Amino acid sequence: MKKLVLTAALALVALLSVTASAFAAHNATIRNAGEIATASSGKVTFRAGEISIECNLTLSGTLAGTISNLERPEERQSLGSIRGVAWRECAGGEVSSVLNTPWNILYTGETGAMPNSVTSVQFTIQNAQFLLSTFGGFVRCLYAGEAPVTMAATATRTAGTYTSGLIRTTESSFAKVSGALCPEAGRMTGSFNMTPVQTITVS
C-alpha cells in the first residue's frame, strides 16, 4: 500500500510539473521600443464594393518595452498604439482624414513554440477609422473596424531572441459608419516595414 501511495504521489508530482511547464507564462522584452514608424511596402488597398483605393501609408506610434503572460489570452495587454497616419500617392480615391486616434495595438498571439521556436507574432489594431473620398469627392465614406496583423519573427543566434520582420494585414474588416452611396463593409490589405527594427527576447 505504501509503495502504491508513493507511486501515485510521484505520478501526481510529475503531472503537475509537466502541466506547469506547458502553461508557464512567458514574457517578452522589446528593443528599441518607444517611437516607431511603419511605412507600407508598396500600396495598401481598401476595397468596398466597387470602390478600390490604393495609397502608400505610414503609421506612426509607440511600442511597449515588455509584454507579459504571452500564453494567457485573458491577461494579454496593449502592445502600444498608432497615433498618426500619413498617406501619399493615392489612386482610385483619397484618404480625407483618420479619426479616433490613438488606435490601440493589442497583442493576440504567436505561431511556433515559445520561447525558442516562434515564427510570427499576431496583434490587432483596434478601433481604426478612415474617412475616404472617391469619384472626385462626390462619395465620402467613413469606415471603422479592426485590422488583424501578422509580423514575421526571425530567430537570431541567441536562443529565444528574434528580430521583427514584414508586417501583413489581410483579414481586416471595416463597417460603414456614415456616407451615402457607400458599401456597407470593406477590407484593407497591405504590408509594412517597422522602423526601427525591433529585437524581441522571450523568457
pLDDT in tens, 55-103: 999 999 999 999 887 776 666 788 999 999 999 999 999 999 999 999 9
pLDDT at residue 19 tops 90: no
Burial code (b: 16+ CB inside 10 Å, e: under 16) for 171-180 equals ebebebeebe
pTM: 0.84
Residue 73 is predicted with a pLDDT of: 60
Read off φ and ψ for residue 198, nearest 5 degrees.
Answer: -100, 145
User: Does any domain span residue 10?
Assistant: no
In-domain check, residue 11: no
Question: Is 150 inside any structural domain?
Answer: yes
Residue 38 near residue 79, CB atoms below 8 Å: no
Give yes or no for residue 8 having a pLDDT over 80.
no
Residue 187 included in any domain: yes
Instruction: Give residue 163's domain range.
Output: 25-202
How many domains does the structure of the chain reveal? 1
Q: Is residue 15 in some structural domain?
A: no
> Residue 5 domain-assigned?
no
Average pLDDT score over residue span 105-113: 91
**Residue 195 pLDDT greater than 60, yes or no:** yes
Instruction: Give residue 1's pLDDT band: very low, low, confident or very high (50, 70, 90).
Output: low
Domain presence at residue 165 = yes
End-to-end CA distance of the chain: 42
Residue 155 has pLDDT above 90, yes or no: yes
Q: Is residue 9 part of a domain?
A: no
* Residue 44 and residue 52 in contact, taking contact as beta carbons nearer than 8 Å: no
pLDDT on residue 97: 96
